[in-house]
């Protein structure tokens, strides 16, 4: 890290910072500039405690140099991670498509959707059984019954199942029914949950929190990786901004940025990422063109009657059209979809 | 809610929306304007499912009218809620001050801080035993040992204890040691945790998530209230914006807005709300002037050596100065502090 | 518009709002709901003055229904606007590419760039002669000399010229040298400038301000259109958000949204939209896949020595590669590039 | 500045950066760390061109150290700047209050307001004659007639006049009628306007742009200061964020931050800063408690009939109440109001 002293900092203040750096087990290197002095601390650790130096007298700011994540970084592992489960392949030039309703609502609904998305080319089925809902008065999911229906849909179609886990104590139950554990955006920094999901050994899909920086997102992935579980998929699903014509702003530049900084595969959710059905297909095409390793799309036989997220959900026909358009784009960027 | 049709929507599309509204058990009311038609749905419920209407053909957008929270709203309960525990009183014209270190680090550290903040006028001690940390490599708290030290500090000073709970399964343990359960900003939408905290019967302090709208924040409080627990304190701790001279932007207008929409007391955390020790005192004064019912401030005997959050932490002397300045402002706005 | 009364609003307050609506020349329509009353005002004008109703006693909020822009809207003109000047065609299925340096720096630099981008397939040359710079100490452009060099490059290559205008009084001078007048992001709400540019009769490229909603952006375009000049190009160049791994967040969902709400063509600037050269090509591909009608890309023979914006500028070789990749994506979405 | 090389950067890449730094007339200093190498460039200038180094091969990022503003900085001038004109005093422990309508609408309206705000204790009258309006269909101001009315109000009350200037060519005209030239938020980066206002010699009030960082804001002030005009007032008026219960988020921490970094006085506009009349008084109190050197408040005899900004405008009675409450807070923070 680099400690920037205030203009006019005294020699005693500089000496104090040097002492503190050395107490932290680092080497210090003082650079006297024309306007002010900066002190480099060499050997920076990743544990975050050194930002306390910012409170030392005469210090203006502390600039960290080292990225705070490690196992997730491209420096540690150069080859892209590919996550495979059943027919779902995410990464390594293959674009995996996860599609399905926001919530599992009924046997008929989930089976109809599963068959439709499979026919259109999806290799995994999404569907919430335990639903985190902003309001306590909204539909909270079919819970155990929902899991059974997902398993039935898997049986019927061979699709891999992706479903969200909301609490550490649900991990064992969900692990019996799902192929991928999804960490929702609201829980991206729920650390006991990340650890419990990691310890399951199942692939873990980590959605970006709507106010999370990419560093915080990679650190959430690092919690999973740190359990020894290497099968992590990152999912960009939009951030909170001042834009009010969309529910969230979908910042696709995270896709190439992540490919330049981590070996983990990154998929895009254009449904949550826009919150408007009319924008989903164009953004799915754009995600593929930006290099995404996969897509996660909400599909329901009758979005108007969906118990959740109807406004951002495609019909099976619209989804089939999306797949057709995305496949052409995938080919244009030399990806297999 | 108000359904706004697109210009040129057909009669069939309008009729379809009317049908759907009536199927939902609501009354509809069609208003034909000069450019477009809007349809009011009367009897709106709060369960959120009706936004699915946005996907109906010919619909431009759906505007909800009713606030989605209920128990938290001022319409339901007109008198301000006052939360009292030991000497801590939050609300009703009294300003409660919760102060202490980010993390409990040692017996000496927590006792020294407790005595100092008590002497300066705080009525509650904060301190993390189980710490949610952005990085898995950062100090994660003393856990059970930390709880014991907090209890010892309470014994020694009479201060009420406020500490964060990170997982539903920790609630019983923490309930033995703490007077107020804190829901951290990262967990504001961790619904199993909100419910478990609510069911403990202890006062629950709900921090605002950094990307949460005030509605989402009140709905998080509603999860707690919905368990029958009425002792909820809201805590504004800053939001994520583009500003880069602070760690978070502290939007104090939430204080008067909340007082106009909810009976729950609202306190302000100027430490997290700025992320810079040099800004904490001015923002504490501003929070009191805006009408806050309390303050939550990070204090450590030696911020430079704090294991977490040092950059935003005050020394005991700085905190005593803050209290002195805030008391004068409190008097100027007819509050007792 | 819809006036939402507070719960418990009195009949006198409702009557007052009805009176005010009628004084404004609108018809009113009172809808008594179960919890509160709303009043529709029919015949809404677009002049914005009616929001004053929000201050009337008993009013909770006023929800506008009508989009505030008119000439820019798809309701008024259904066929997409195509802007053509020399070989640059933007809109109507054709993707126009505008490339060149941030600033014109020298005869050699601009000619070399012009030839290179033309060879790669660009049909217009960008280059700043009058430069708005955040700091008064930064390079402010070659001014008149820069315009002459642009004209020389046009002569030599046939490329259309796009350059920024910073003040109304510069419009006549610039009009002699440029084919398209660019309104920079910082000036998106500089209304005298928008009007002066509109009155020139030249095509006007309106960049989105980094904090502008799409409505505000379309209203800026409306200022130009309102002068009678129909040749407006919208340019998405990124917004200010909390993301810190990019200079701006590029929200590509504006592309399909605009195509669903306005007839004006929309192009994307992935250089400013990311602020990082390493992300430009991927985001250019994504923009084309999202349906953009054109691209605006910064290119310099030696970005490391550029007097401005070097960090987001491509070399001619990188630009040629971008064009090749984007052409394949364009084909996959049935566009001509 | 500090150039951070990528892990694994080659010696040739490091040497190249060193060469480039020296070509820029700076000294370089290479620090080899355990994971990567950083190169300090000593003697940093403020002209911004060096960020081009970010494009050099092997460079990860460039961290600037020096603040980019100079004349505005506290290092250059340690005593606070106090701006005085007629009875308006901003800075130096005095809180100046500027109040009045958004727009001058009529002789009666402006005179009535002027007398009322003077009676309540304001020392300056605000009022727009040339109005920048988001929509071309909104009221654009009385223009020259408005200026004459402001002059009449000044004559009648002795209040200083503050009015907005929208274009460089209006500066001479406005200078005849106003005491302070206001640069609106939309024009904060309109550099020809900043320079023309500076050259008038009148005090210039620079409003913060809603997406501007504090650095960009100070650089806008620097454009004015750089003309030799030292009478600059900064005005915080809120930023664009995701919050939707207010029109803008008012980040009061800018007040103490600015006092720690610039000698210029800073005032707060709680009317634009919230966009809701019901929140203005509480935020005015908070601004004073945070240390603001002044307030700018919208007041109209009948906000409901105001031609602009009615929703955020106080009545004369509400303003008198605001003044009374703020004076008590001012006293509590040892300021004169």
pLDDT of residue D135: 87
User: What tens digit of pLDDT does each residue of D279-331 get?
Assistant: 999 999 999 999 999 999 999 999 988 888 889 999 999 999 999 999 999 99
For A195, other C-beta atoms within 10 Å of its C-beta total 17
Has residue A233 been placed in a domain? Answer: yes
Show which subunits contact B, needing at least 3 CB pairs below 8 angstroms: A, C, D
- Mean pLDDT value of segment C152-165: 98
pLDDT of residue A50: 66
pLDDT of residue C182: 98
Identify whether the C-beta of residue A1 lies closer than 8 Å to the C-beta of residue A62: yes
CA distance D231 to D197: 11
Torsion angle in degrees (nearest 10) through CA of B251, B255, B257, B262: 140
Same domain, D32 and D114: no
Facing D35 at nearest CB: one of A35, A66, A242: A66
Distance from CA of C262 to the nearest CA of D (A): 16
Same domain, A10 and A143: no
Burial of D228 (0-12, 13-18, 19+ CB in 10 A): exposed
Pairing between strand A266-268 and A37-42? unpaired
pLDDT of residue A49: 61
pLDDT of residue B48: 59
User: What tens digit of pLDDT does each residue of D182-230 get?
Assistant: 999 999 999 999 999 999 999 999 999 999 999 999 999 999 999 999 9
CATH no. for residue A18?
3.30.70.1140
Has residue B54 been placed in a domain? Answer: yes
Q: What is the DSSP letter of C249?
A: B
Same domain, A133 and A261: yes
Identify whether the C-beta of residue B247 lies closer than 8 Å to the C-beta of residue B238: yes
User: What tens digit of pLDDT does each residue of B152-179 get?
Assistant: 999 999 999 999 999 999 999 999 999 9
CA distance D181 to D232: 10
Has residue C282 been placed in a domain? Answer: yes
pLDDT of residue C50: 66
Question: Which of the four pLDDT bands, split at 50, 70 and 90, describes residue C307?
Answer: confident
Residue C47 has pLDDT above 70, yes or no: no
Chain A environment of B53 (Cβ under 8 Å)? 304, 310
CA nearest B19: which of B41, B36, B48, B47? B41
CA distance A104 to A83: 25
> Cβ of D192 under 8 Å from any chain C Cβ?
yes
Residue C288 has pLDDT above 80, yes or no: yes
Show which subunits contact D, needing at least 3 CB pairs below 8 angstroms: A, B, C
CA distance A54 to B172: 37
Three-state DSSP class for A36?
A: coil
Chain A environment of D2 (Cβ under 8 Å)? 2, 38, 63
CB contact under 8 A, B4 and C240: no
The range of the structural domain enclosing residue D97 comes to 83-332
Distance from CA of D100 to the nearest CA of A (A): 29
Structure tokens at B249: 């932007």
Q: What is the DSSP letter of D247?
A: S
Question: Which of the four pLDDT bands, split at 50, 70 and 90, describes residue C2?
Answer: confident
What's the Rg (C-alpha) of chain D? 23
Has residue D249 been placed in a domain? Answer: yes
> Cβ of B325 under 8 Å from any chain D Cβ?
yes
CA C125 to chain centre: 18
Question: Which of the four pLDDT bands, split at 50, 70 and 90, describes residue D46?
Answer: low
CB contact under 8 A, C278 and A291: no
Identify whether the C-beta of residue B307 lies closer than 8 Å to the C-beta of residue D307: no
pLDDT of residue D44: 64
CB contact under 8 A, A251 and C260: no
CA distance A183 to A173: 15
Same domain, C153 and C226: yes
Same domain, B109 and B155: yes
Task: Report the chain A residue with the minimal C-alpha distance to residue B309.
Answer: A52
Please give the share of chain B, as a percent, with pLDDT higher than 70.
98
Has residue C77 been placed in a domain? Answer: no
CA distance B15 to A19: 77
What string of pLDDT tens digits covers the 337 residues of chain A?
Answer: 889 999 889 999 999 999 998 888 888 889 888 778 989 888 766 665 667 788 889 998 888 888 889 999 998 899 999 999 999 999 999 999 999 999 999 999 999 999 999 999 999 999 999 988 888 888 889 999 999 999 999 999 999 999 999 999 999 999 999 999 999 999 999 999 999 999 999 999 999 999 999 999 999 999 999 999 999 999 999 999 999 999 999 999 999 999 999 999 999 999 999 999 999 999 999 999 999 999 999 999 999 888 888 899 999 999 999 999 999 999 999 999 9
Residue D142 has pLDDT above 80, yes or no: yes
CA nearest B148: which of B179, B114, B107, B183? B107
> Cβ of A34 under 8 Å from any chain D Cβ?
yes
Same domain, C140 and C218: yes
Angle between helix axes A254-261 and A277-290 (nearest 10 degrees) is 30
Structure tokens at B199: 């069911």
Structure tokens at B102: 């980010």
Same domain, C16 and C110: no
Same domain, C47 and C176: no
* Residue D182, phi then psi, degrees to nearest 5: -100, 130
DSSP per-residue letters across A200-247: T-S-EEEEPPTT--HHHHHHHHHHHHTTT---EEEEE--B--S--SSS
Three-state DSSP class for C70?
A: coil
> Cβ of D56 under 8 Å from any chain C Cβ?
yes
Has residue A151 been placed in a domain? Answer: yes
Same domain, B177 and B245: yes
Same domain, C164 and C106: yes
DSSP per-residue letters across B246-266: SSSB-BTTHHHHHHHHBSS-E
pLDDT of residue A166: 94
Indicate whether this model's pTM tops 0.80. yes
User: What tens digit of pLDDT does each residue of B42-62 get?
Assistant: 876 666 566 778 888 999 988
pLDDT of residue A47: 63
CA nearest B211: which of D238, A241, A183? A241
Residue D47 has pLDDT above 70, yes or no: no
> Cβ of A47 under 8 Å from any chain B Cβ?
yes
Facing B55 at nearest CB: one of A186, A211, A304: A304
CA distance D85 to D203: 8
Has residue B29 been placed in a domain? Answer: yes
CB contact under 8 A, A211 and B169: no
Structure tokens at C72: 């820019």
Residue B2 has pLDDT above 90, yes or no: no
Torsion angle in degrees (nearest 10) through CA of B325, B327, B330, B334: -140
CA distance B283 to D92: 20
Question: Which of the four pLDDT bands, split at 50, 70 and 90, describes residue C18?
Answer: very high
Burial of C172 (0-12, 13-18, 19+ CB in 10 A): exposed
Facing B42 at nearest CB: one of C29, C33, C242: C33
> Cβ of B42 under 8 Å from any chain C Cβ?
yes
> Cβ of C23 under 8 Å from any chain A Cβ?
no
Has residue A21 been placed in a domain? Answer: yes
Show which subunits contact C, needing at least 3 CB pairs below 8 angstroms: A, B, D
CA distance B205 to D220: 42
Same domain, B150 and B281: yes
Distance from CA of D229 to the nearest CA of C (A): 14
Structure tokens at A169: 């104590």
Q: How many domains does chain B have?
A: 2
pLDDT of residue A48: 59
> Cβ of D168 under 8 Å from any chain C Cβ?
yes
Chain C environment of B241 (Cβ under 8 Å)? 242
pLDDT of residue A225: 97
Identify whether the C-beta of residue A131 lies closer than 8 Å to the C-beta of residue A167: no
- Mean pLDDT value of segment B293-313: 93
**Considering Cα of D312, then D313, then D318, then D319, what sign does the dihedral take?**
positive
Question: Among B15-24, C263-272, D31-40, D188-197, where is mean pLDDT lowest?
Answer: D31-40
Candidates D46, D128, D134, D219: best to mutate against C (most CBs of C within 10 A) is D134
Q: List the alpha helices (DSSP H) in A50-104.
A: none
Chain A environment of B313 (Cβ under 8 Å)? 55
CATH no. for residue D200?
3.20.20.70
CA distance A205 to A183: 6
CB contact under 8 A, A222 and B313: no
Distance from CA of A19 to the nearest CA of D (A): 18
DSSP per-residue letters across B214-227: HHHHHHHHHHHHTT
Task: Report the chain C residue with the minimal C-alpha distance to residue B75.
Answer: C7
pLDDT of residue B24: 84
Structure tokens at D96: 């100046």
User: What tens digit of pLDDT does each residue of A60-111 get?
Assistant: 888 888 888 999 999 889 999 999 999 999 999 999 999 999 999 999 999 9
User: What tens digit of pLDDT does each residue of C117-132 get?
Assistant: 999 999 999 999 998 8
Chain A environment of C279 (Cβ under 8 Å)? 253, 256-257
Domain boundary among B18, B35, B63: B63
CB contact under 8 A, A135 and B68: yes
CB contact under 8 A, D274 and B253: yes
- Mean pLDDT value of segment C148-153: 97
CB contact under 8 A, D240 and A242: yes
CA distance D76 to B19: 71
Facing D191 at nearest CB: one of C132, C209, C240: C132
Same domain, A113 and A48: no
CB contact under 8 A, B55 and A135: no
Domain boundary among A63, A95, A115: A63
pLDDT of residue C149: 97
> Cβ of B214 under 8 Å from any chain D Cβ?
yes
CA distance D300 to D125: 12
């Amino acid at each position: 890290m680099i400690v920037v002293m205030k203009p006019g900092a005294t020699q005693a203040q500089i000496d104090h910072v040097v002492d503190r750096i050395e107490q932290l087990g680092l080497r210090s290197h003082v650079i006297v500039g024309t306007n002010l002095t900066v002190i480099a601390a060499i050997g920076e650790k990743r544990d975050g405690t050194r930002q306390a130096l910012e409170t030392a007298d005469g210090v203006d700011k502390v600039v960290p140099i080292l990225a705070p994540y490690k196992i997730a970084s491209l420096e540690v592992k150069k080859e892209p991670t590919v996550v495979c489960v059943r027919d779902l392949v995410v990464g390594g030039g293959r674009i995996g498509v996860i599609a399905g309703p926001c919530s599992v609502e009924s046997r008929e609904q989930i089976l109809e959707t599963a068959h439709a998305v499979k026919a259109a080319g999806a290799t995994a089925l999404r569907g919430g059984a335990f639903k985190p809902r902003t309001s306590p008065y909204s539909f909270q999911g079919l819970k155990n019954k929902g899991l059974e229906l997902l398993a039935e849909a898997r049986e019927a179609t061979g699709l891999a199942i992706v479903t969200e886990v909301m609490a550490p104590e649900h991990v064992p139950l969900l692990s019996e029914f799902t192929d991928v554990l999804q960490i929702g955006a609201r829980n991206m920094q729920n650390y006991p949950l990340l650890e419990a999901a990691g310890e399951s050994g199942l692939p873990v899909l980590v959605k970006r929190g709507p106010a999370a920086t990419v560093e915080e997102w990679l650190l959430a992935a690092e919690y999973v990786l740190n359990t020894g579980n290497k099968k992590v998929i990152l999912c960009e699903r939009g951030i909170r901004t001042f834009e009010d014509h969309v529910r969230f702003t979908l910042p696709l530049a995270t896709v190439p940025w992540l490919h330049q900084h981590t070996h983990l595969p990154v998929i895009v959710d254009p449904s949550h990422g826009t919150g408007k059905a009319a924008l989903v297909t164009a953004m799915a095409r754009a995600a593929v063109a930006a290099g995404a390793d996969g897509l996660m799309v909400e599909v329901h036989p009758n979005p108007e009657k969906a118990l959740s997220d109807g406004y951002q959900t495609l019909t099976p026909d619209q989804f089939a059209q999306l797949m057709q358009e995305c496949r052409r784009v995938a080919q244009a960027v030399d990806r297999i979809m």
